[in-house]
A and B are shown apart, each in its own frame.
Chain A
Amino acid sequence: MDYFIELFLSGLTRGSIYALIALGYTMVYGIIGLINFAHGEIYMIGAFTSFIVATVLSIYGFPLLAIVIVAGVAAAIWSSAYGYTVEKIAYKPLRRAPRLAPLISAIGMSIFLQNYVLLAQTSDFLPFPELIPEFAFMEPVAHIIGSSDLVILVATTVVMLALTLLIKFTKIGKAMRATAQDKTMALLVGINVDRVISATFIIGSALAAIGGLLIASHIGQINFAIGFLAGIKAFTAAVLGGIGSIPGAVLGSLILGLTESFATGYVSSDYEDVFAFSLLVLILIFKPSGLLGKAETKKV
């Protein structure tokens, strides 16, 4: 039973990380109908930035709490800046181009960013500084759930709540919802669609950066290529939940995290990634609208 609970909790942890990344995919898709292929790379850059900042600060002997806060804020700021810039360079000029053009451009951006980090940093796996200590109060349950799992679960819950409030109640949140429903109409009622799109990229990137920081400190190492697989998996989760739908992304992520955790725990870990890819292929073939998404009607 303990093993089951352990797997369940580690599945939730995985799922919440996927959710942080998947939200970026789903929000961007909801607003401009584009699969932001470079989103996984934004997550990777978030992880890398937090790695660099945290390591520098720890070398200079800063206290742990300060390191965590500064690294988190820096990761969010720079990832958002990258997300914003990527949109301006690679997608904005192609808004009226045929559908495949921005997708190809997005793939190019993903390859570019990966190799940019590879060249500017290194291809080696780097040890991520331990940011989350083993809490003393967690000792009795340490065999089931680690302290970092707990931090991830709490942190994602807080971030999700904040995002929900932002989208529900703030002006930019309302503008985002309006734009997602009908871009032309939003433009007509005076919403600055460009700014909404930028905001979407910034928010999505910040979420991915927080995901990057959490997962990197959880796993303990990073490298320039981690964005690809994480991106694909988060995208799978977003599609599973119904791309474009925010609760769908969270639901899909949790389902994917749990299934992966149980499959590797009870069956075999060899095919962990095959499983995610197969799930992606199967959903897209049989239910491309996902669990909570709306089916598309073709307009003729």
Chain B
Amino acid sequence: MIPLISLKEMKRSLLIALWFAFLTFPIMVIRVNPIERTVSWRWTNLLYVALGSFVISLLVKAWAIGKERRAGAAAARQQTPGSAAISIIQAILNRPAYWYPLAVLVSGLALAFPHLFSTYQTNIMITALMYVVLGLGLNIVVGVAGLLDLGYVAFYAVGAYSYALLNLHFGLGFWAALPIGGLLAALFGVVLGFPVLRLRGDYLAIVTLGFGEIIRLILENWSDFSKGPSGISNIPRPGFFGVEMALDQAMIYMYYLMIGLLVVTIFVVNRLQDSRLGRAWLALREDEIACQAMGIDKTRTKLIAFALGAFWAGLIGVIFGAKTTFVNPASFTFMESAIILSIVVLGGMGSIIGVVFGALILILLPEYLRALSEYRMLAFGAILIGMMIFKPEGLIAGVRRVYRFQGRGR
């Protein structure tokens, strides 16, 4: 239903378009080459900006009008607003009858994937699955417990470097390094979390950001320890009872390993959310003082969330090292944290299915639409803003638990 747009709105959008044309003029239009001392004027860009902002401002206005109408209609029917806008996926999720066939379909596809597609595709899929798990890990921290962690990539780095270094110095294999990497990252989480988790939300965000950068800068500068910016290479891929594998076989093996890890992660995260601890996290997100007054140990509860999130980042760090056989500090910049945060925000904070979809969309889309990949980070930035304004609950909101008790039947 597209609401009619009045002339006044058109005029307003025209003004907005003019404003953006002015705003973006120096950066979009002028391009200088200071060495050859030439200037190129790209006037067509101005046209694109004006047209684009005109259309977008109209769309936003239409959305706002539509939202008002829906809210009005919902109020008339005594319903909560937004219930009309539930997406198709959400509708399917709300019907348990669909779950079983859907699960069979999805798992069938997932299992057959490396045999249906090339090694290249499998490789991309492994990366996407890694981001799914990273997203699920960060989701515990940001989505469920409401702690904005902007340095999540630091724990990822801890995992990757613990495998790389343990292998380099002690010849430790993948399977031994996997739990160690996870546990070391969790330990880092506890050590960092202990002093900072009592901070207010926005300060916590900045401190974790600072911490993430500190770890990266140390890895870059402390060459005796980490081999500096050149990184560590020749990290072995995961072994399978000592069987030698060709590259494509190794990739298929890694793919199934990631599928396995994903299933375990979903299982664990789901159970955690649905527990005494999960409830306490949700409550902490809403009101810390009330939580404390209800006997919840704020620091301890947050620390557990933080450490669990870090644990998964550490695991994926080890896998990252094994997959690329090479780690260096450049893989662990703030932008990496921002990508993972975008996944959680797009998918829906606190929603497992949402995060899975979020990661697949954000990682696979730019891979397959090569033309778009240049605009990837631009889009991630826009997603963070747009989701907060238009759909803060994410694409797929978390499923609400229904409890059974005497009086409602077990």
Do A and B pair up? The answer is: yes
Interface residues of A (CB under 8 A from B): 34-35, 45, 48-49, 51-53, 55-56, 59, 74, 78, 81-82, 85, 89-90, 93-94, 97, 99-105, 107-121, 126-127, 129, 228, 232, 235, 239, 270-271, 273-274, 277-278, 280-281, 284-285, 288, 298, 300
Excluding A93-B389, A274-B217, A284-B210, 7 further A-B contacts by CB distance (< 8 Å) are A104-B341, A108-B385, A116-B378, A118-B377, A277-B213, A277-B217, A280-B206
Whether the Cβ atoms of B214 and A52 lie closer than 8 Å is no
| Measured CA separation A103–B149 after assembly (Å) | 12
Whether the Cβ atoms of B150 and A53 lie closer than 8 Å is no
Partner of A103, one of B34, B201, B377: B201
Whether the Cβ atoms of A115 and B206 lie closer than 8 Å is no
Chain A residue with Cβ nearest B374: A119
Residue among A93, A100, A109 having the largest count of chain B Cβ atoms under 10 Å: A100
Residue B205 at the chain A interface, CB threshold 8 Å: yes
| Measured CA separation A285–B392 after assembly (Å) | 29
Partner of B27, one of A48, A277, A288: A48
Whether the Cβ atoms of B23 and A52 lie closer than 8 Å is no
Chain A residue with Cβ nearest B390: A93
Partner of B213, one of A55, A112, A232, A298: A232
B221 surroundings in chain A (CB, below 8 A): 270-271, 274
Q: Nearest 7 CB-CB pairs, A to B?
A: A108-B384, A112-B381, A111-B381, A108-B385, A115-B378, A105-B388, A277-B210
**Secondary structure class of chain A's binding surface, majority of residues:** helix
Q: Which of B35-43, B80-88, B110-118 contacts A (4 or more CB under 8 A)?
A: B35-43
Residue B383 at the chain A interface, CB threshold 8 Å: yes
> Which residues 1-32 of B sit at the A interface, judged by CB distance below 8 A?
19-20, 22-24, 26-28, 30-32
| Measured CA separation A281–B209 after assembly (Å) | 9
Partner of B384, one of A111, A114, A285: A111
Whether the Cβ atoms of B388 and A94 lie closer than 8 Å is yes
Q: How far is the CB of B260 from chain A (nearest CB, A)?
A: 32
A239 surroundings in chain B (CB, below 8 A): 206
Whether the Cβ atoms of B392 and A97 lie closer than 8 Å is yes
Partner of B150, one of A105, A107, A278, A285: A107
Whether the Cβ atoms of A281 and B388 lie closer than 8 Å is no
Whether the Cβ atoms of B381 and A103 lie closer than 8 Å is no
Q: How far is the CB of B388 from chain A (nearest CB, A)?
A: 4
B207 surroundings in chain A (CB, below 8 A): 280-281, 284-285
Residue B375 at the chain A interface, CB threshold 8 Å: yes
| Measured CA separation A285–B202 after assembly (Å) | 13
A119 surroundings in chain B (CB, below 8 A): 374-375, 378
Interface residues of B (CB under 8 A from A): 19-20, 22-24, 26-28, 30-32, 34-35, 37-39, 45, 146, 148, 150, 195-196, 199-203, 205-207, 209-211, 213-214, 217-218, 221, 289, 334-335, 338, 341-342, 345, 374-375, 377-378, 380-386, 388-389, 392
A300 surroundings in chain B (CB, below 8 A): 289
21 contacts between A and B (CB under 8 A): A45-B27, A49-B26, A81-B23, A85-B23, A90-B385, A97-B392, A99-B201, A101-B388, A103-B201, A104-B384, A107-B150, A107-B338, A108-B386, A112-B378, A115-B377, A118-B377, A119-B374, A120-B27, A232-B213, A284-B196, A284-B207
| Measured CA separation A60–B289 after assembly (Å) | 63
Partner of A235, one of B201, B206, B375, B382: B206
Partner of B345, one of A74, A104, A273: A104
| Measured CA separation A100–B202 after assembly (Å) | 7
Q: How far is the CB of A86 from chain B (nearest CB, A)?
A: 10
B383 surroundings in chain A (CB, below 8 A): 108
Q: How far is the CB of A201 from chain B (nearest CB, A)?
A: 14
| Measured CA separation A132–B207 after assembly (Å) | 37
Whether the Cβ atoms of A52 and B217 lie closer than 8 Å is no
B28 surroundings in chain A (CB, below 8 A): 120
Whether the Cβ atoms of B218 and A56 lie closer than 8 Å is no
Whether the Cβ atoms of A52 and B150 lie closer than 8 Å is no
Q: How far is the CB of A125 from chain B (nearest CB, A)?
A: 11
Whether the Cβ atoms of B335 and A281 lie closer than 8 Å is no
Residue among B30, B37, B213 having the largest count of chain A Cβ atoms under 10 Å: B213
Please judge, given known A-B contacts A103-B148, A111-B380, whether A277 and B214 are in contact too, CB under 8 Å: yes
Residue among A48, A89, A105 having the largest count of chain B Cβ atoms under 10 Å: A105
Q: How far is the CB of A122 from chain B (nearest CB, A)?
A: 8
Partner of A112, one of B32, B205, B289, B382: B382
A101 surroundings in chain B (CB, below 8 A): 388, 392
Please judge, given known A-B contacts A115-B381, A278-B214, whether A59 and B201 are in contact too, CB under 8 Å: no
Q: How far is the CB of A45 from chain B (nearest CB, A)?
A: 7
Please judge, given known A-B contacts A104-B148, A127-B34, whether A281 and B211 are in contact too, CB under 8 Å: yes
B20 surroundings in chain A (CB, below 8 A): 85
Please judge, given known A-B contacts A94-B388, A100-B146, A271-B217, whether A59 and B210 are in contact too, CB under 8 Å: no
Partner of B26, one of A52, A102, A278: A52
Whether the Cβ atoms of A105 and B389 lie closer than 8 Å is yes
Whether the Cβ atoms of A59 and B37 lie closer than 8 Å is yes
B374 surroundings in chain A (CB, below 8 A): 119
| Measured CA separation A112–B378 after assembly (Å) | 5
Partner of B334, one of A53, A85, A228: A228
Whether the Cβ atoms of A121 and B214 lie closer than 8 Å is no
| Measured CA separation A103–B202 after assembly (Å) | 7
A278 surroundings in chain B (CB, below 8 A): 210, 214
Please judge, given known A-B contacts A49-B27, A52-B30, A56-B32, whether A109 and B381 are in contact too, CB under 8 Å: yes
| Measured CA separation A273–B389 after assembly (Å) | 34
Whether the Cβ atoms of A110 and B214 lie closer than 8 Å is no
Please judge, given known A-B contacts A93-B389, A97-B388, A271-B217, whether A111 and B335 are in contact too, CB under 8 Å: yes
Residue among B31, B209, B211, B385 having the largest count of chain A Cβ atoms under 10 Å: B385
| Measured CA separation A34–B34 after assembly (Å) | 38
